[in-house]
Structure 1
Amino acid sequence: MITTLLRGALRARGTEVALLCHTGTESRAALDGLPLGPLDRILDLDSLAVSGSFEVEGAWERGLGAEVGLVAVVAAAPTDLHRALTAAAGLPRAAHVVVALLATPGHQEPPLPASPGMGQWRDLQEARVRRLDRSGWVCELFFPNGVETPQVLDAVVQGTRARRRGPATAPLAVLHGPEAALWRPGDTGVRGVEEAGPVPLRRVTPVGDLALRVGGTGPRAGWTDERVPVLDRDTTAADSWEHIGGNDGLAAARRWSERPDPVSAVAPIDELTVNPAGFRKAEDGPLGELTVHGDRAVVREGGKDLVAVAPDGTVTDVDLSRLRHLRGIRVDWSGHTGPSAAVRAVASLAAGGVPLIGGTVPAWAAGLGRPLADLLTGASDEDLTDRLRREEHSVRLRRAALRAHGVRARWRALGVEVGLAVPPEPRVSVVLCTRRPGMVGFALAQIARQRHVRLEVVLALHGFPVSLPEVASAVAEFGETGIPLVVHEADGGTVFGAVLNEAVDRASGTLVAKWDDDDWYGPEHLADLLLARTYSGAELVGTGQDFVHLQEVDVTVWRSRESETSTRFVAGGTILTDRGVLEETGGFRPLPRAVDTQLLLAVVRGGGRVYRTHGLGYVLRRTGGGHTWSEDMAYFLHNYARQWFGRRFSALLEGEPAPFGRPAAQNTGEHR
C-alpha cells in the first residue's frame, strides 16, 4: 500500500522536486522502484549529519525559505520518527507532506495531527489518516503553499501521544555531526551548527546554551564561540569492535576506564517512546536472549529472531511490543556491534521494563552505570517465573535505566558538566487531608522517606487543631527533616472536596499529589509517579489498587491488575497531576465523597489522559467502614492473584517507617 500511495503522490507533485526520506530498520525498502524525477532525492535521515546547512537542488527559493512539492518520510516505528524530527529540522518547506509509520505498538493512539496554533495551517486543503496494513499508519496533508515540514512531522508524532508533550528537555542545545539526533530525539527546536561554530544568533541571543558535537575519534576543529560551551562525544561506530581491535573488550575497557563518567559518554534513551508502556505479566512466557546472530545483535527466542537491534543500539517501541510475551531476556555479553551500542540496547530494554538477567557485566560495559549492572547480575531465571518477583525486578530495572539514561537526565548531566545552571526539578506539593489526629504521625513518616523528589507537604487538619499533643509532636518531628510543611486547620463542617481545594490553594508546587492518611507508600512512590508523568505525557498519573490490606480479617490480597497503561481509574490516594490540570477541570468537586472519581472523569471529559503505572509501592488499607469509596470486603476478595494472612507487601515498599510523634492510635472515626 505504501508504494502505491507514494507513486500517487509523485504523480500529483507535477514537475516540482520531491524529497523521499526514510528512518529506521528496513524502512528504505518502501522507496524502491519509485518513478523518480531527475532532481528527486532519497535521504537517509539516520545517516544525515546535523550541521548548520542543508540544501536541496532544484528547490524553489521563496521569501520564507526553500520549498519543494513533496516531502515523504517513511519510518519503521514511532521511535524512529521521533528521533528523525531532530535530523529533519533542516528539511525544506513542502506543499504535500506524507508521513508513513510502518508499524506501531498496540497501546499508541493513531497519528491524528493537531494544527500548531499560530495560524500556520489556516489554508490546509486536505488531511488524510489511514491504516497501513495491520499496525501501521499513513498521514497526508495538502497545502496550496508550502508549510514548515518539521512542524508537520512534529504534529504527527504528537498525535500518537495525545495532546500533552510532557516536561521539556534542558538546556537548549545546538548539534553537529552524525548520530547527533540520538542525543536529542524529537526536538524540532534544535539547530544545527558548523563544526567550529559559531552558534547562530536570534537577534542578539544564541539559539542554544550548549553545543554538542558528535563524531569519530579523530581530531576536531577548534571551537570558536566563547559564549556557548561545547562538548564532544563519539559516535557508536567509533568504538565498534572493528575499530578497537576485536570483541575481547580489552581496548574498550581501557577507553571506558579513562572516562570520568562513562554513563554520560553514551547516547541517551528516548524515554518518550522507549518506556514500560504495554508491560505484560508474562511469567509463564519463554526466556529470550540478547545475543549475536550473523553480523547483527538480535533478541532470539529459540531459533527465531524476534528483534534485530540497530547497529547504534537503538531498540524501538515496536521492538518492545514484540518482546512483551517473554518472561525475560538473558543478556549474552559475547558480542554486539560495540560497547556503546551494546550498552544502549541493554539500557533500552531495561527502560522498557523488560526483565533482564545476565552474568558478570564486562568492564567495557561500564557505561551502563553501577546500579543497572548490579541489577542485571542480582536476579535469576527463577525470579522471572514468579509473577511478583518478576515485576519487582522490572520496576527496579526501569527506574535505574530511565534515571541514568533518559534524555532529560542525560542533558541535565551534560549541563552540569559544563557549569550551566539547569532548571530545578518540579516541586511536588503533597496534599494530606485527615479527620484523625492519631494518623498524622503515621502519614508524615511515610512522606518524609520519599526520595528522588523535591516536595512540600500541605497538611489539612479537618476539624481539629494542630495543638493536640499527638499532632503537635508529629509535626515537630517532621519539621526536623527540613521538608517544607504548611498546616491548614479546616473547619470540621466544610465538605471534604472543599477542604482539598483549600489545601491545594496553599500549595506552592507545580505538581500536586494526593495522599491518604492510613495507606502505605513505598519510599519511591512519588519518584515513580514523576517518571510515569515524563514518559506517558498524561495529564494525570497514579497507580492501581493492587495491594489491599483488609484490616477486619487481617488479610493482604494482591490483585495484580494491568499496569503501565492509559485507563479511566487510578487509586485516589495516588493521584499526581499539574496545578494547571486542576484549574482546567475545576479542582475537586465540593462533595463529601467520590471526589477522586469525579476528578478522573473531569480529566477524561476534557480530552486528557489518565495513566496507571505499577502498583507495587502502594497498599490500600481497608477498615470496617467510613470509607469515601464504599465497596465491601467481597469486592477486594474477587479475582485476586494471591492472598496472605497478615501484612505481606511488595519488597518495593521497603518496610514500614515508625510513625512520627507518638505511635499511631487505633483506627477510629471517619476514613478518607
Structure 2
Amino acid sequence: MITTVLRHALRARGGEPAVLCHTGAETRADLAGLPTAPGDLLLDLDAQPPGQPVFDDDRVAGLVAVVAATTTDLNRVLTSAVHLPRAVHVVAALVATPGHQEPPVPVGPGMGQWRDLQELRVRRVDRRGWVCELFFPNAIETAPVLDAVLHGTRGRRRGPALAPLAALNGTEAALWRPGDTGAHGVAAQGPVPLRRVTPVADLALRLHDHETPPAWTDEAVPALDRTSTDTDSWDGLTGPDGHTRAAGIADTAVVRAAHTSTDPVQRIAPVDETTVNPTGFAKAENGPLGELTLHGDRAVIRQGRKDLVTVAPDGTVTDVDLAHLRHLRGVRVDWTGHSGPRAAVRAVASLAAGGVPLVSDPVPAWAAGLGRPLTELLANAAEADLSDRLAREEHSVRLRRAALRTHGLRSRWRALAAEAGVPVPAGPRISVILCTRRPEMVGFALAQIARQRGVDLETVLTLHGFPAALPRVRAAIDAYRATGLPITVHEAPADQVFGSVLNDSVARACGDLIAKWDDDDWYGPEHLSDLVLARTYSGAELVGTGQDFVFLQEVDLTVWRSRESETTTRFIAGGTILTDRVVLEETGGFRPLPRAIDTQLLIAVARGGGRVHRTHGLGYVLRRTGGGHTWSEDMAYFLHNYARQWSGWRPSSLLEGEPAPLGIGNAQEQPVGATQHTGGHP
C-alpha cells in the first residue's frame, strides 16, 4: 500500500525532483523499485546529521516522502528533517503504530501557513499503518508538515516544552533531541548561528567518535561533548569474545571507557518519553516470560524461539516494540546480549520506561549508566513476583518512575543544562485544591498533602461552612505551615453550592496545575509526581487514577478492582484530577452543582476535543463510609468485579503506609474514621 501511494505520487510530481526518505528498521524496502528519475534522492534520515542541507541551493521538491517504521522513528528524525527541501506534495507514512495511538490527522499550524491547502488524505495501511498526504499549490516547509502529522497522533496538546534551546552536531545528535524542529545544526567547532543578534540556541551538544573534537569557538554559547553509541561496541573494546565476557566485566578498560564521566547516567542518550512510555500497559501476569538476549549479532527480545523485537544497535526501543511485548508477564535481561555497554543501558532503560516488568541477574559494573534507582530495582526483583498481578504492577510502576525520571528526555536536558551552567525555567507548581465540610478531617487530609515528594506545591484549603478558628482545625493548619509548605485558607459559607466553592478555590490558587484532593481518601507520597509524569508522556488535557483500591469502612474491607490503567478513558477518580489552569478556563471550570461535578468536568473536557488519561491507581485508596459523599454509589457497586479483597485496611505497598494526622496531640483526639492503620503490603 505504501509503495502504491509513492508510485502514484512520483508519477504526479511534475518536473521537480523527489526526495524519498526512510527511517527505522527495514523501511528502505518500501522505496525499492520505485519509478525514480535522474535528480531524485534516496535519503536515510537516520544517517543524516543536523545542519546538513539536502540540496546545496534553494531548490523546491515536487515530492518529499518520509517512510517511518514507527512513530518513535518519525519523531526522532524530525530533528534532521528541518533541512529537507520545501515541497508542494508531502507524504508521511507510518509502517506500524501501537493500538492505543490516534490516527495521524495533522494538527495545522496557527499562523495561516495552510490557508491554501488543496487536499489532505489520511489512509490506513494494513492493520496498524497509516499514510498521510498533503497537497499545496505552492511549496511549503516540509519539517513543520511532518511535525503536524506526528502531533496529530498525540491529540491537541504538545506537553511540556523541552529546554534549553539546543544546537547539535553529529549523526547521532537526533537521539538526544527527538521531535525538536527548533533544534539547529552547528559546525563541530561552532559558532552557534545568530538570528539577527541572538544565538539560535542556549546550549550546543556535540556527538563524536573517539577522536578529540576541535576546540569550541563560541564564547556566548557553551558546548558539551558526548561520544556516539557505536564507539563502545564490545567487539571494538574487548575483541571477538566481548559478548561472552560482558557479564563478568568488573574493572577493565571497558568499564573505564563506559564511565568517562563522574556521572555515567549523563553519557546515555535519553529515552523519548512522548512515544516510549507505559501507555498500553497490560495486566499479563499469566503471560510467558521473554528474554533480552543476543541472537546472531543483534540484541533481541525472544519468547522461546521467536524473536518479538530486534533492538536497534543504538539501543532504541520503539512504541511498536513495546506493543509487541505487552502480552509478556516480564522480560529477563541477559547482560551479554547487546552490541555495547551504552546500547545495553539504553535498551534496558527504555523497556523500564515503557513499564515492562524486568528481572535480571546482578547488574554488571559497566551498566552503571542505568543509575542507582534502576540498578537497585533490578537487583531486588524476583521472577516469582511477575506471576502475581499486584506485585507485578507495583514493580512496573517503580521501574517506570525510575527510568522516566532518570533517563527521560526532559530530565536529561535539564541535567545537561545544569552541567553547562545554563539556567532553565522552573518546573510547574501544583495548586492542591482541598475543600471540606468536616473539621475532623482537616488534619488527616493535610498530612496526606504534606508528605508529597518530587513536586513543587501549594495548598488552597477551603473550609465549607465552618471557621478556621476551631481548635483542631487551627492546630492542623499550624502544623502544616510548620512544614514550610505554603497554604491559603478560605472560609466558604455553608449554603454555597459545592461546584461554586471549588471555582472560588481555583481563583485563589497560584499554581500552573490544579490538583483536586478529597479530605478522607489516602494518597501515596508519589501521587502527585506520578500524575505529573503521566501528564508529560500522555499529552492529555487531564490526568488521574482509577478507583482501584477502595476501603469500605462500614464492613472494614479493602477491595482491589484492578482497573485498566495507562489508557485514554472517560472516567477517573474525582479526587485524583490533575489538569492545567487553562483547561479549566477552556471548559468553563466546575459546574455550580452540589454533586457529580467531577463527572461534569470530564464530560466537558471530552466534548471540547480533549483527552483524559488514567494512570495507575496503586498510590490511592478511596474511602467509602455510610454517607456524605458527592458521588452516591452504594457498597454493592464496589464489590462487583474485584480482583482481590482483604479484611481491614490493606493498600498497595506503593502507598507507603499512612501518616499521622496533623495537629493531633494524642490518640483520643483523632477524628472518627481516621484511625491509624498498620498498612503494609497485603
TM-score (normalizing by structure 1):
0.97
Residue 55 of structure 1, CA deviation: 3.5
Distance 1:80 1:251 in 2: 33
Give matches, 1:122-521, under 5 Å.
122-246=115-239, 247=242, 248=245, 249=249, 250-521=252-523
Q: Is the 8 A contact 1:439 1:664 kept in 2?
A: no
Distance 2:49 2:231 in 1: 15
Distance 1:302 1:516 in 2: 48
Q: Amino acid of the residue matched to residue 66 of structure 2?
A: V
Aligned counterpart in structure 2 of residue 95 of structure 1, from 88, 91, 113:
88
Residue 667 of structure 1, CA deviation: 4.4
Q: Is the 8 A contact 1:441 1:664 kept in 2?
A: no
1:664 equivalent to 2:670? Answer yes
Distance 2:24 2:379 in 1: 31
Q: Which deviations, in whole Å up to 9, do the C-alpha atoms of 1:11-34 show, x marking residues without a partner? A: 111221000000001111111111
Aligned counterpart in structure 1 of residue 565 of structure 2, from 563, 566, 570:
563
Distance 2:26 2:312 in 1: 10
Q: Amino acid of the residue matched to residue 395 of structure 2?
A: H
Distance 1:39 1:241 in 2: 40
Distance 1:291 1:47 in 2: 26
SS at match of 1:593: coil
Aligned counterpart in structure 1 of residue 102 of structure 2, from 93, 106, 109:
109
1:56 is aligned to 55
SS at match of 1:648: coil
Pair 131,257 (structure 1): closer, same or farther in 2 beyond 3 Å: closer
RMSD: 1.0
Q: Among the aligned pairs, what percent are the same residue?
A: 71
Residue 597 of structure 1, CA deviation: 0.4
Distance 2:156 2:186 in 1: 31
SS at match of 2:530: helix
How many aligned residue pairs are there?
661
Distance 1:528 1:501 in 2: 25
Q: Amino acid of the residue matched to residue 665 of structure 1?
A: P
Point out where structure 2 has 5 or more consecutive residues left out of the alignment.
Answer: 675-682
Aligned counterpart in structure 1 of residue 634 of structure 2, from 628, 632, 641:
632
Aligned counterpart in structure 2 of residue 522 of structure 1, from 518, 521, 524:
524
Q: Which deviations, in whole Å up to 9, do the C-alpha atoms of 1:259-306 show, x marking residues without a partner? A: 111001000000000000000000000000000000100000000000
Q: Amino acid of the residue matched to residue 9 of structure 1?
A: A
Q: Is the 8 A contact 1:125 1:143 kept in 2?
A: yes
Residue 89 of structure 1, CA deviation: 1.2
Could you tell which deviates more after superposition, 195-204 or 613-622?
195-204
Q: Amino acid of the residue matched to residue 385 of structure 2?
A: D
Distance 2:396 2:35 in 1: 48
SS at match of 2:287: coil
SS at match of 1:373: helix
1:5 is aligned to 5
Q: Is the 8 A contact 2:500 2:590 kept in 1?
A: yes
2:19 is aligned to 19
Residue 244 of structure 1, CA deviation: 1.5
Residue 566 of structure 1, CA deviation: 0.3
Could you tell which deviates more after superposition, 39-48 or 253-262?
253-262
Q: Which deviations, in whole Å up to 9, do the C-alpha atoms of 1:388-421 show, x marking residues without a partner? A: 0000000000000000000000000000001111
Q: Amino acid of the residue matched to residue 466 of structure 1?
A: A
Distance 1:639 1:441 in 2: 34
Distance 1:117 1:502 in 2: 33
Q: Amino acid of the residue matched to residue 283 of structure 2?
A: K
Distance 1:55 1:225 in 2: 26
Q: Amino acid of the residue matched to residue 19 of structure 2?
A: L
SS at match of 2:131: strand
Distance 2:259 2:609 in 1: 50
Distance 2:7 2:498 in 1: 62
Q: Is the 8 A contact 2:117 2:134 kept in 1?
A: yes
Q: Amino acid of the residue matched to residue 421 of structure 2?
A: G
Q: Which deviations, in whole Å up to 9, do the C-alpha atoms of 1:605-654 show, x marking residues without a partner? A: 01100000000000000000121111100000000000000001100000
SS at match of 1:486: strand
Q: Which deviations, in whole Å up to 9, do the C-alpha atoms of 1:589-617 show, x marking residues without a partner? A: 11111110000000000110000000000
SS at match of 2:519: coil
Q: Amino acid of the residue matched to residue 56 of structure 1?
A: F
Could you tell which deviates more after superposition, 638-647 or 112-121?
112-121
Q: Amino acid of the residue matched to residue 234 of structure 1?
A: T
Distance 1:481 1:172 in 2: 36
Distance 2:456 2:395 in 1: 25
Distance 2:18 2:204 in 1: 32
TM-score (normalizing by structure 2):
0.96
Point out where structure 1 has 5 or more consecutive residues left out of the alignment.
Answer: none
Distance 1:505 1:448 in 2: 22
Residue 255 of structure 1, CA deviation: 2.1
SS at match of 1:99: strand
Q: Amino acid of the residue matched to residue 386 of structure 1?
A: D
Residue 243 of structure 1, CA deviation: 2.2
Distance 2:600 2:673 in 1: 27
Q: Is the 8 A contact 2:299 2:310 kept in 1?
A: yes
1:80 is aligned to 73
Q: Amino acid of the residue matched to residue 50 of structure 1?
A: P
